[in-house]
Amino acid sequence: MASILLSNDNLLKAIRAKSRVGAEALYDQYAKVLSLAIFRIVRDRELTDTLLEETFHQIWDDAVQYNEHETPLLAWMLGIAKNLALQQTTVIKTETTESVILEFKLA
C-alpha cells in the first residue's frame, strides 16, 4: 500500500476527525522519528515499539486539545513520546531499586 502524505494541517484535521486515512498518514509520516526519540531514551526495541503505540494512542486521543498555534505538531508529538519514555524509565528504575532493597533486606 502506498504511503499517504498529508500537510500538517490536513493531517491534524484527519486525526481530529478520527479518520483511518489520518491514522495511516500519522504513522507513515512520523513513526520513524518518534520511534528514534523513544529508543534514545529507553534503549530497548520491544519497549520502544510498545511506547510508540502508546504515543500514537495519546496523539489520537489528545488531538482535539492540541493548539497548533502554540506548538509545532512535531514538537508536540515528540513531547508526548519523550514523556512516555521518561515515565517508563522512571518506573523501571524504581522497580530495580525496590528489587535491590528487597534482596539486601533478605540477605
Question: Each residue of 51-98: pLDDT tens digit?
Answer: 999 999 999 999 999 999 999 999 999 999 999 999 998 766 555 555
Question: Each residue of 32-53: pLDDT tens digit?
Answer: 999 999 999 999 999 999 999 9
Segment 14-21 shows an average pLDDT of 96
- Alpha-carbon gap, residue 45 to 42, rounded angstroms: 8
- Alpha-carbon gap, residue 64 to 10, rounded angstroms: 14
Q: Decide: 10 and 29 in contact? Cβ < 8 Å.
A: no
* Residue 13, pLDDT above cutoff 80: yes
Q: Write down all domains in the chain, each with its CATH number in brackets.
A: 8-106 (1.10.1740.10)
- Alpha-carbon gap, residue 27 to 91, rounded angstroms: 27
- Burial of 60 (C-beta count, 10 Å sphere; 0-12/13-18/19+): middle
pLDDT for res 95: 54
